[in-house]
Amino acid sequence: MRTQYCGHLNKSLAGQTVELCGWVNRRRDLGGLIFIDMRDREGIVQVVVDPDMKDVFEIANQLRNEFCIRLTGEVRVRPESQVNKDMATGEVEILATGLEIINRSDVLPLDFNQKNTEEQRLKYRYLDLRRPEMSDRIKLRAKASSFVRRFLDSNDFLDIETPVLTKATPEGARDYLVPSRVHKGSFYALPQSPQLFKQLLMMSGFDRYYQIVKCFRDEDLRADRQPEFTQIDIETSFMSAEQVRGVTERMITEMWQELLNVDLGTFPIMPFEEAMRRYGSDKPDLRNPLELVDVADILKDVDFKVFSGPANDEKGRVAVIRVPGGAKLTRKQIDEYTKFVGIYGAKGLAWMKVNDREAGFEGVQSPVAKFLNEEVVAQLLDRTQAESGDIILFGADKKRIVEEAMGALRLKLGTDLELTDTNAWAPLWVVDFPMFEEDDEGNLHAMHHPFTSPLGVSPEELKANPAATNSNAYDMVINGYEVGGGSVRIHNAEMQSAVFDLLGIDAEEQQLKFGFLLDALKFGTPPHAGLAFGLDRLVMLLCGTENIRDVIAFPKTTAAACLLTDAPSLANPAALEELAIAVNLAKEESAEQE
């Protein structure tokens, strides 16, 4: 039906007759002539309808926005004075010689020239995707997927599919369960990742595997999370962590070069401990110059328990952020930042304005200054390298609270005060994560997942001091987003059992949930390592948006619902009966009323 895309037309086709299919982006009637901006997925071109072409002109008079049309016409070069430099096809136009209305359009529920609510955009997603901005994002996603396949294929990786209906395994979130009709009362789980299957593929001898695969996690959502997401899954045998990082870093740098013409350079490597100490985050945004500075040693003996308490607590932390030029912040703004850190559990936000650095104690203004002497203030100013016009913001509490609150405050200040260089790219690797994290009850949980190998210890040494053991894991971070994470895997049954023991998974449960893996580890398992990228997050960064839903064709809301199809929905009672499932909504409604 078409010979060219609208967006591909240029001067080289001058004089040629073309056939186009697409939508009316805009129609203008200038009395003697009708101009149509015609759009398809590749772009927009201007069409001119001359009244001398009576049949065509009559049809053109009927056109309205988003009518689906087919057009025949001659490519003409525009006069220099009429070239539209804002359009890729702005040097040419089409003189219409034939026009057909394929389908008319009702008045649109979306206004393409105004800002629609996200609910409207998701409900009428098929219309929203017609917008050039959205179309470009989906096309860039397709190019990114194509690049990944070409890169990995050329590096001897094999694309191998793994099951979607599988067994529930602990990977950090709740599983989506699928009932079995054949095995009544039993359930499959949709995979949170292909983790165990890709390890089994390594045991099968396929030493370089990849897959662009759907994964599912039933967890609380946010702007960069979805219940179903796409993962670039990579696993290798006989490669070290450094080699895995090397090949995947090269894939990302070449992707950025090809798709954006951006050179990301060589990625710096930062230990987890340093990232948390300096930035309060294991995915630091290095475009932001602000850092956390530890000052507990300076404040241990001050007569102010808000500071001295955490300063003398081995599980506490006192850290500050020096904000250049921050003395201009008003009391109202400081109060707003105090409320902000309260979201993360902080009980307050002490501050100190440096009005005159040379004046020392006399040159600072702070509600906590009365608790500090001249020597302490001098040490704080020296430690933070504060200058006149700066403000110092204090975080003092349990270590986790300080890191979460001050880390988030650092990012907010960077945005609010325009300190973050939004035109830069700042990739890095974060390595040497703790093997475990401890909850408030003292239980251990795997920092990554329970199949991650500890770094440089035997099973006995791991059990003797699990809290002091790091894992051989690594995350790739770009502009404050974790875009990929991986690790060297455990490749022997003894170490795997030791990790399960520490996680409180007893021998019986190990066999019940992971018996197939523990058995497989006994038969010449090769050392193996891998990494998984979030394709959605990568494309989000490539497109320059901060919402993952912008780069997914049909995304869910933050309530994990599809407004387009009204999913999830109630199941047919007959289908539930066949599956031996009873739904008790009355109990849930009663609980909500209480």
Given pLDDT bands bounded at 50, 70 and 90, which one contains residue 438?
Answer: confident
431: left (phi over 0), alpha (psi -120 to 50) or beta: beta
224 pLDDT above the threshold of 80: no
Identify the pLDDT of residue 353.
Answer: 97
CA 369 to chain centre: 42
Residue 383 CA: distances (Å) to CA of 284, 294, 379, 392, 396: 22, 9, 6, 11, 17
Lowest pLDDT segment from 147-156, 162-171, 412-421? 162-171
Lowest pLDDT segment from 30-44, 288-302, 434-448? 434-448
Q: Rounded mean pLDDT of the chain? A: 94
Smallest Cα–Cα separation from 392: which of 404, 403, 406, 405?
406
Summary count for the chain: helices (H), strands (E): 18, 22
Residues in a beta bridge with 20? 71
146 pLDDT above the threshold of 60: yes
Identify the pLDDT of residue 302.
Answer: 94
* Cα R_g (the chain), whole angstroms: 30
Neighbours of 407 (CB within 10 A): 24
Taking 3-state DSSP, the helix, strand and coil percentages for the chain, each rounded to the nearest 5, stand at 35, 25, 40
Identify the pLDDT of residue 228.
Answer: 94
Binding site as annotated, residues for ATP: 217-219, 226, 482, 534-537
Report the distance separating Cα 79 and Cα 48, nearest Å: 14
Report the distance separating Cα 233 and Cα 374, nearest Å: 57
591 pLDDT above the threshold of 60: no
Identify the pLDDT of residue 589.
Answer: 56
DSSP state of 368: T
Identify the pLDDT of residue 223.
Answer: 65
Paired tokens of 196: 């165990």
313 pLDDT above the threshold of 90: yes
Identify the pLDDT of residue 88.
Answer: 94
Tell the burial category of 229 from Cβ atoms under 10 Å away from its Cβ (0-12, 13-18, 19+).
buried
Smallest Cα–Cα separation from 446: which of 462, 458, 457?
462
Report the distance separating Cα 459 and Cα 497, nearest Å: 9
Neighbours of 95 (CB within 10 A): 15
Paired tokens of 576: 């539930």
Length of the chain counted residue by residue? 594
Report the distance separating Cα 61 and Cα 31, nearest Å: 11
pLDDT tens profile 474-488: 999 999 999 999 999
Neighbours of 206 (CB within 10 A): 16
Provide the whole-model pTM.
0.92
Tell the burial category of 268 from Cβ atoms under 10 Å away from its Cβ (0-12, 13-18, 19+).
exposed
Lowest pLDDT segment from 43-52, 59-68, 576-585? 576-585
Identify the pLDDT of residue 439.
Answer: 83
Paired tokens of 231: 């993962």
Binding site as annotated, residues: 171, 217-219, 226, 448, 482, 489, 534-537
220 pLDDT above the threshold of 90: no
Report the distance separating Cα 177 and Cα 12, nearest Å: 56
3-state secondary structure 239-302: CCHHHHHHHHHHHHHHHHHHHHCCCCCCCCEEEHHHHHHHHCCCCCCCCCCCCEEECHHHHCCC
* For residues 518-526, average pLDDT: 94
Domain boundaries, the chain: 6-103, 135-270+428-433+471-491+526-550, 288-420
Among residues of the chain, what percentage have pLDDT more than 90? 88
Given pLDDT bands bounded at 50, 70 and 90, which one contains residue 112?
Answer: confident
**DSSP letters along 193-248, please?**
-SHHHHHHHHHTT--EEEEEEEEE-BS---TT--SEEEEEEEEEES--HHHHHHHH
Identify the pLDDT of residue 296.
Answer: 97
* For residues 358-366, average pLDDT: 95
Identify the pLDDT of residue 219.
Answer: 84
pLDDT tens profile 510-521: 898 888 999 999
32 pLDDT above the threshold of 90: no
445 pLDDT above the threshold of 70: yes
User: What CATH number matches the domain at 135-270+428-433+471-491+526-550, 3.40.1370.10, 3.30.930.10, 1.10.287.610, 1.10.1060.10?
Assistant: 3.30.930.10
Q: Is the CB of residue 35 less than 8 Å from the CB of residue 48?
A: yes
Q: How many CA atoms lie within 13 A of 19 on its CB side?
A: 5
Among residues of the chain, what percentage have pLDDT more than 70? 97
pLDDT tens profile 542-590: 999 999 999 999 999 988 999 999 999 999 999 999 999 988 876 555 5
Tell me yes or no: is domain 288-420 CATH 3.30.1360.30.
yes
Given pLDDT bands bounded at 50, 70 and 90, which one contains residue 230?
Answer: very high
Peptide bond into 109 cis (omega under 30): no
Paired tokens of 101: 């209305």
Binding site as annotated, residues for L-aspartate: 171, 217, 448, 489
- Order of strands, sheet of 481-488, starting from the edge strand that comes earlier in the sequence: 158-159, 208-216, 228-237, 528-534, 481-488, 473-478, 427-431, 269-271
Identify the pLDDT of residue 366.
Answer: 96
Given pLDDT bands bounded at 50, 70 and 90, which one contains residue 171?
Answer: low
Q: Is the CB of residue 11 less than 8 Å from the CB of residue 79?
A: no
Q: Is the CB of residue 311 less than 8 Å from the CB of residue 318?
A: yes
Tell the burial category of 107 from Cβ atoms under 10 Å away from its Cβ (0-12, 13-18, 19+).
exposed
Tell me yes or no: is domain 6-103 CATH 2.40.50.140.
yes
